[in-house]
Structure 1
Amino acid sequence: MIMDKKICSIVIALLLISVSTMAQDHINPEDRVVDMNSPTFVPMVHIGKTKVGNDSIQYVKTSNVYVFPPLDFKNKSQEIAYYRLVYNIKKVLPIAKECHQIILETGAYLETIPSKKERAEHMKRVEKDIWNTYKPRMKKLTFTQGKLLIKLVDRECNSTSYDLVKAFLGPVRAGFYQAIAWTFGSSLRKNYDPQGADRLVERIVLQVEAGQL
């Protein structure tokens, strides 16, 4: 649905603005401490009953459990880099999840608004709220965390950032933000690749979502 893409592109544009701001101002990370011994997402445990013939059998349903081959670190620096990536993912993944929730909730609400003018007015309010809520938070992220957050928003939306920004802001602004991203070593045209370049990120995200990290 096109409205979903519009909302997501607002968030992505905001992230890109904050990336350029971080590079210029060297803003320190926000003070929120990530506890590496505590899962970002609490594992789900659901207890229920199901009927089999004339008997009621109790069952327990839990989150997915992911088993991966052990990581073989070649040196201490590689190990430190891995745990830094885990730390950064646990820090920004909740924000990416919030963005996805905004898309779902706003998209559902827009379906109830009959007038095109009222929908446009509501979108303006959403844009303002997102800007006021997320810009201060984005400015507290490091440059690396900002780039990672853009990648994780791409993962949640299942579309390239360039296409999403273009859908809402048009090709000129999309090109402008692409230039900003390129200047800082990124690209909005790249797809999130869980089987390739982003394989390690995907592995960590799955484990964090399941409460294993």
Structure 2
Amino acid sequence: MKHIIFILLCLPTFLVGQEDDFIEQDSTEVEYIIIQGDSIPQKSIYLDEVMILDKLSFKSKEDRRRYLILGRKTLKVYPYAKLAADRLNALNTRLQSLDKKRDKKKYAKKVQKYIEEEFSEELKKLTRTEGQILVKLIHRQTGKTTFDLIKELRSGWRAFWFNSTAYLFNISLKREYDPENVEEDYLIEDILIRASQNGQLKLVKSPLNFEYFKLSNKWSKTE
């Protein structure tokens, strides 16, 4: 799994107090809301959108078992994918502040070494299936495949070599996250959405162009 190492709705809680008093304007009573920490009265407040999900249902015990196994594997590797995206964003931000190519290369190697030392032992424990899910989730989080990320941070040859090595373990670093056309990817997205609503993880919106409810409608019609 060493090739992976390199790349590594809930409502917000408002303490709201409502004024029992009414402010009279032109003989019209208007109720205002005071949000703690804000001195300006508001007539209304906006809350984050909440998804109402359908209850899980399965055609067979085998489908249910498959979903639960996929769920365990997905929740296990998602933190690594999220961290990879966070590291990448931090790396790109830092690189933009550096002018010299030598300094950029030096900093990139430093970050890669840090990631390897921090996560190498944990990533080695992943199974082949978990490794492939991680590769797809990295694409979900960053909008780029693991292959392309390695190519950007290292070289095209190194990316090719890592991809060829990954194939020995049935893992493709070029694998994309495609919940619109791949049922397993849709199930992974469903697992992430439900886990986010249950407070099991903090889900980051994907830069990829797909909408969960459109996917849900599509796949429910194919069942």
Query: Given the superposition, is the C-alpha separation of residues 124 and 212 from structure 1 closer, same or farther in structure 2, using an over 3 Å criterion?
Result: closer
Quick check: 2:138–2:144 contact (8 Å CA) kept in 1? no
Structure 1: distance between partners of 2:106 and 2:160: 26
For structure 2, the 5+ residue unaligned runs are 17-24, 33-41, 201-223
Are the counterparts in 2 of residues 47 and 59 from structure 1 also a CA contact under 8 Å? Answer: no
Q: Contact 1:46–1:60 at 8 Å: present in 2 too? A: no
1:180: which partner in 2? Answer: 165
Counting only pairs closer than 5 Å after superposition, residues 63-212 of structure 1 correspond to structure 2 as 64-68=50-54, 70-75=56-61, 77-197=62-182, 198-211=185-198
Post-superposition Cα deviations, 1:33-81, rounded to whole Å, max 9, x if no partner, equal xxxxxxxxx93424278xxx97424646346425246432312x33222
Separation of aligned partners in 2, 1:170 and 1:118: 17
Structure 2 counterpart of 1:27: none
Over the aligned positions, Cα root-mean-square deviation in angstroms equals 3.0
Change (3 A) 1:180 1:125: same
Task: Tell which deviates more after alignment, 136-145 or 109-118.
Answer: 109-118
The structure carrying a bigger helix percent of its residues is 1
**Equivalent pair of 2:145/2:175 in contact (CA under 8 Å):** yes
Contact preservation (8 Å) 2:2, 2:123? no
- Displacement after TM superposition at 1:179 (Å): 1.9
Q: Which has the higher contact order (CA 8 A, sep 6+)?
A: 1
Distance 2:111 2:12 in 1: 34
* Structure 1 residue 109, shift from structure 2 partner: 2.2
* Amino acid paired to 1:14: I
Offset at residue 102 of structure 1 (A): 0.9
Q: 1:187 to 1:66 in 2, by over 3 A?
A: farther
Q: CA deviation at 1:132?
A: 0.3
Identical aligned residues as a percent: 23
Give the conservation status (yes or no) of the 8 Å contact 2:131–2:171: no
Report the counterpart of residue 38 of structure 1 in structure 2. none
SS at match of 1:108: helix
The residue aligned with 2:219 is none
Alpha-carbon spacing, 1:212–1:121, altered in 2? closer, same or farther (3 Å): closer
Alignment match of 2:4 (pick from 14, 23, 27): 14
Instruction: Determine helix, strand or coil for the equivalent of 2:10.
Output: coil
TM-score by length of 2: 0.65
**Helix, strand or coil at the partner of 1:151:** helix
- What secondary structure, in the 3-state scheme, does the structure 2 residue paired with 1:47 have? coil
Sort the Cα spacing of 1:81 and 1:92 in 2 relative to 1 into closer, same or farther, 3 A.
same
- The code of the aligned residue for 2:79 comes to P
Between the aligned partners of 1:191 and 1:171, the Cα distance in structure 2 is 18
Which TM-score applies when normalising by structure 1? 0.68
